[in-house]
Amino acid sequence: MRVASTDANRPPADQASPVYVWDLPTRLFHWSLAILVVATFVAAKIGGNAMVWHGRIGLAILGLLVFRIVWGLVGSTYARFTQFVRGPTGIRVYLSGQWQGLGHNPLGALSVLALLGVLLLQVASGLFANDDIAFEGYLVPLISSATSGDFTGIHRLLENALLLLVAAHVGAIIYYASVKKRNLVRPMLTGWDAGNPGQSATGGGLFALLLAVLIAGLAVWAASGALLPPPPPVIPSTAPTW
């Protein structure tokens, strides 16, 4: 089994000389993350009992992020960090208009890293945060109440940073569509891109996929508090009968 380019992945008929860029796991990660980020914002704004779902969705986002990090090391060509993280030289080449390539451009790579980093910090702080009412993160028992309050402040502060990054991401898509006449959404839906010449993605087979899923699952399991000792039993008080 291959999760990169296969005979089953046929290019759309309206694209000339398309190249298979985004493998199925990368595309599923992208759209699942977008849906879950929106869902966790909605749950947080509703509050109350919805905060239980806010925490559960946060765990799911953590699993996706861990999966993407592992997939960025063992996945197919254009999903790997070594392929699209180019550093200052690559950014200068891109800004000069001389860059040609597939997948994330050098400037877009910074956006990807920033989003992953902020989301990881957001999820990590949420594990130790509380809403001062009835909900607390899964790992709050590991820290003091004051420290949990600090993490809560960080969690709320990062919300604004995340909104700015999401706005910049959407703005870049609109800019490419309106100014550069390149549709960045279609390749992330179909996997195929005809924007620049190149080789179709390879690698990222079944073993790599199972490894990434396993590590992500273990991360979610640990973050859910599964390794914490059980709480002490509640001893009912004995009240006088008179």
Could you tell me the residue range of the domain that residue 201 belongs to? 25-223
Which residues, in sequence order, are CB contacts of 84 under 8 Å at separation 6+?
78, 103, 104, 105, 106, 108, 109, 112
Closest CA to 213 of 63, 111, 21, 34: 63
Q: Across all residues in the chain, what is the average pLDDT?
A: 88
What confidence tier does 25 reach under pLDDT thresholds 50, 70, 90? very high
pLDDT 10s digits, 127-182: 999 987 878 999 999 999 999 999 999 999 999 999 999 999 999 999 989 998 88
Strand partners, 203: 76
Residue 194 has pLDDT above 90, yes or no: no
> Would 234 be classed as within a structural domain?
no
> Would 242 be classed as within a structural domain?
no
Number of domains comprising the chain: 1
- 3-class DSSP state of 241: coil
> Would 3 be classed as within a structural domain?
no
CATH number of the domain residue 200 falls in: 1.20.950.20
pLDDT 10s digits, 42-80: 999 998 889 999 999 999 999 999 999 999 999 999 999
Mean pLDDT of the 206-229 span: 96
> Would 233 be classed as within a structural domain?
no
Residue 12 has pLDDT above 80, yes or no: no
> Would 236 be classed as within a structural domain?
no
* % the chain with pLDDT above 70: 89
Residue 13 has pLDDT above 60, yes or no: no
> Would 2 be classed as within a structural domain?
no
Residue ranges in 179-226 assigned as alpha helix (H): 185-190, 206-223
Residue 15 has pLDDT above 60, yes or no: no
State the Cα–Cα distance between residues 118 and 111, nearest whole angstrom. 10
> Would 230 be classed as within a structural domain?
no
> Would 119 be classed as within a structural domain?
yes
What confidence tier does 3 reach under pLDDT thresholds 50, 70, 90? low
Cβ distance 101 to 196 under 8 Å? yes
The reported pLDDT for the residue numbered 241 is 60
